[in-house]
Chains A and B, each alone.
Chain A
Amino acid sequence: MSSKKQSSNNIAQARRIVQQLRIEANIERIKVSKASADLMHYCGEHAKYDPLLMGIPASENPFKDKKPCIIL
């Protein structure tokens, strides 16, 4: 009795896997060359706004250690 239930569980699981694979096999894909070009384009577009890439001037840098003021 239990072996029948187990086998029907296995069937259900196998069916799920097959259904999942069917969905994955049918999705729309683009060529790697196009995808790479888009990634490169995005990097190029946004590089100038990237502080870690470009560095930021010390005056705008919130983490720069501020020198103590000297009262003359």
Chain B
Amino acid sequence: MYPSIHPSIHLSTLTSISSSPVIIYVHLAVQQLQTLCFLANFPLAKMAAQEVQPSETIAKLKSESEALKTKLEEERAKLHDVELHQVAEKVDPLGQFVMKTRRTLKGHGNKVLCMDWCKDKRRIVSSSQDGKVIVWDAFTTNKEHAVTMPCTWVMACAYAPSGCAVACGGLDNKCSVYPLSLDKNENLAAKKKSVAMHTNYLSACSFTNSDMQILTSSGDGTCALWDVESGQLLQSFHGHAADVLCLDLAPSETGNTFVSGGCDKKANVWDMRSGQCIQSFETHESDINSVRYYPSGDAFASGSDDATCRLYDLRADREVAIYSKESIIFGASSVDFSLSGRLLFGGYNDYTINVWDVLKGTRVSILFGHENRVSTLRVSPDGTAFCSGSWDHTLRVRE
């Protein structure tokens, strides 16, 4: 008398997954629902059909999301025909690397937390736990500017593309921009401009292609794009389930994407205009401390507390390499590529810097010198040197 009930297509994909109480429950619930719908002529049945329990809809959505996740993995696996290091076997191996420390920048009174190069390839801005932000000339090791922030743990600092300003922030939950004046006597703190406001600590900040916009990430789980002049929020990026620890802008001039990494072990790629998360990668086993785009913009590397660095290709939409060794058990705090993308520098919490061959997946060098964990590492804009900052209060420029 009742028409036979055919399970919907999406249910049939579910049954192919190992059974669970939820799936059986949903199956029965949907059958019930379909029965009720067929009896919709009767107002009573109609009312009953409308009073669907919210938990049933959630279960349906949850099972659909599980099905989609499986589909995503299957699609990614289909294209996984070879490993990067296998393809790279025909590339010449790299020789021995000797990198010496050329400059040691001393002057911070406490742990150095972040640093950034100026586009002029010689100036560096660094920030530390004691609230000091210092601008150095890396060639001469002179300190050109120093600012004391009203908060401690200044975890983020960035140089403006023009070289005329620096941005920094930390436990004050804000990102402030300081225009750098040529007059040494001028009090920089007087000209300070508060740009970003978050509800938790600022973990990273970066100017976009101009001095006019700043991208920030925060412990409140969001990233945000701000207009420097007005302090207005232009776009916010929601999707991380925990603190966002790092971000990096795509290198292309026309590119409008950036990648962020967080304590939820996910690295998300975002479209800056729409605020949409366009790709997401979750293979790390712990917090992602640092993300950096490959120079071509087609891939990015990440460093994590799980003691590995990983390379993710954006067009293949998957992880393509892991840089790890059994002897490395401390987390990687920061990563950066050399100019050609062949070398990946990783600063670790065991006070060392490991240099990896990006294509072959092997370590080519290990650098010592810091007396405490390496917290930040950046290659200079022209690729001639790289600078590392550490909890031992110093920065070292090496090449």
Report Cα–Cα, A61/B64, bound state, in Å: 59
Query: Is the C-beta of B162 less than 8 angstroms from some C-beta in chain A?
Result: no
Contact partner of B62 (CB less than 8 A), chosen from A8, A14, A32, A51, is A14
Query: Is the C-beta of A23 less than 8 angstroms from some C-beta in chain B?
Result: yes
CB proximity of A67 to chain B, nearest CB, Å: 14
Q: Is the CB of B87 within 8 A of A33?
A: yes
Contact with A along B36-62 (1 / 0, CB 8 A): 000000000000000000110110011
| A25-B75, A43-B342, A50-B338 as given contacts; A11 in contact with B54, CB under 8 Å | yes
Which residues of the partner chain B approach A35 to less than 8 Å between Cβ atoms? 298-299, 313, 315-316, 320
Q: Is the CB of B313 within 8 A of A63?
A: no
Q: Is the CB of A52 within 8 A of B338?
A: yes
Contact partner of B340 (CB less than 8 A), chosen from A7, A11, A21, A42, is A42
Contact with B along A18-56 (1 / 0, CB 8 A): 101111110101111111111110111111011111001
CB proximity of B269 to chain A, nearest CB, Å: 10
Q: Is the CB of A32 within 8 A of B65?
A: no
Number of A-B contacts (CB under 8 A): 168
Q: Is the CB of A51 within 8 A of B276?
A: no
Query: Is the C-beta of B397 less than 8 angstroms from some C-beta in chain A?
Result: yes
| A24-B72, A43-B342 as given contacts; A29 in contact with B91, CB under 8 Å | no
Contact partner of B315 (CB less than 8 A), chosen from A14, A18, A30, A61, is A30
| A27-B279, A42-B296, A53-B340 as given contacts; A61 in contact with B399, CB under 8 Å | yes
Which residues of the partner chain A approach B71 to less than 8 Å between Cβ atoms? 25
Q: Is the CB of B340 within 8 A of A43?
A: yes
Q: Is the CB of B79 within 8 A of A29?
A: yes
| A30-B316, A32-B83 as given contacts; A21 in contact with B69, CB under 8 Å | yes
Nearest chain A residue, comparing its CB with the CB of B313 = A35
Q: Is the CB of A50 within 8 A of B339?
A: yes
Which residues of the partner chain B approach A42 to less than 8 Å between Cβ atoms? 294-296, 298, 340-341
Nearest chain A residue, comparing its CB with the CB of B101 = A63
| A33-B81, A50-B340 as given contacts; A39 in contact with B298, CB under 8 Å | yes
Report Cα–Cα, A47/B341, bound state, in Å: 8
Query: Is the C-beta of B122 less than 8 angstroms from some C-beta in chain A?
Result: yes
Q: Is the CB of B340 within 8 A of A32?
A: no
CB proximity of A28 to chain B, nearest CB, Å: 8
Query: Is the C-beta of B239 less than 8 angstroms from some C-beta in chain A?
Result: yes
Report Cα–Cα, A63/B397, bound state, in Å: 9
Which residues of the partner chain A approach B350 to less than 8 Å between Cβ atoms? none
Which residues of the partner chain A approach B397 to less than 8 Å between Cβ atoms? 63
Q: Is the CB of A37 within 8 A of B338?
A: no
| A31-B316, A47-B342 as given contacts; A52 in contact with B379, CB under 8 Å | yes
CB proximity of A21 to chain B, nearest CB, Å: 4
Query: Is the C-beta of B370 less than 8 angstroms from some C-beta in chain A?
Result: no
Which residues of the partner chain A approach B384 to less than 8 Å between Cβ atoms? 51-52, 56, 61-63
**Can you report 21 residue pairs joining A to B where beta carbons are below 8 Å apart?**
A11-B61, A14-B61, A18-B61, A21-B69, A25-B75, A32-B82, A33-B81, A35-B313, A36-B320, A42-B296, A43-B91, A43-B342, A43-B358, A50-B340, A51-B382, A51-B384, A53-B338, A62-B139, A63-B139, A63-B385, A63-B397
Q: A20-B277, A35-B299, A52-B384 are in contact. List 13 more A-B contacts (CB 8 A).
A: A14-B61, A21-B72, A30-B315, A32-B80, A32-B83, A36-B83, A36-B84, A39-B299, A40-B359, A50-B338, A52-B379, A53-B340, A63-B139
B interface residues, Cβ below 8 angstroms from A: 54-55, 57-58, 61-62, 64-65, 68-69, 71-72, 75-76, 79-84, 87-88, 91, 94, 99, 102-103, 122, 138-139, 239, 276-280, 294-296, 298-299, 313, 315-318, 320, 338-343, 358-359, 379, 382-386, 397, 399
Across the A-B interface, give the 7 residue pairs with the lowest CB-CB distance, nearest first.
Answer: A46-B340, A50-B340, A14-B61, A21-B68, A63-B102, A7-B54, A35-B316
